[in-house]
Amino acid sequence: MDDVSWNEIGGIVGKRPSCIKAVRDAADFISSLKKDSYLFKIVDNGLDVLKENMFAGERIEKKKFPKYYVQKYGINNLYKYNLDAANRLIYTLVTDELGITVVVLGILSHKEYEKRFGYR
């Protein structure tokens, strides 16, 4: 467990996931991006960050979960990772036989993020 850091109360601070996956919609979106595009580069960089630390994103309070994610994926945790000032990577953590998997639920513009999360 050399990839785990413990804080003063004994909880995991940073840990590598067993793997990173994406739901079909997110995978299709990511695979449609041109390899030399800015959005591809920041998504790729964001995924690299999550490969090193699955807790790099900001945990979203349960009461703020959009019904969309709860109904479609039955999530019980939700995170957002700011790719830049205008784009968000939304993901959840799922326990599997190998450990914990990061599951990418979507890549949203800031405007789409605000709409989905009910801020506007």
- Percent of residues, the chain, with pLDDT higher than 70: 88
Q: Strand, helix or coil at 111? A: helix
Q: What is the pLDDT of residue 2?
A: 37
pTM assigned to the model:
0.86
If you average pLDDT over residues 68-87, what whole number do you get?
A: 96
CB count in 10 Å sphere of residue 41:
13
Query: What is the domain partition of the chain in residue ranges?
Result: 5-116
> Any idea which residue has 């979507």 for tokens?
106
Q: What is the pLDDT of residue 79?
A: 98
pLDDT at 93 over 80: yes
User: Cα Rg for the chain, rounded, in angstroms?
Assistant: 14
- Give the pLDDT band (50/70/90) at residue 15: confident
CATH superfamily for 5-116 is: RelE-like (3.30.2310.20)
> Any idea which residue has 């996956």 for tokens?
21
Q: What is the pLDDT of residue 4?
A: 39
Between CA 44 and CA 35 the distance in angstroms is 9
- Give the pLDDT band (50/70/90) at residue 75: very high
Range of lowest pLDDT (6-10, 22-26, 35-39): 6-10
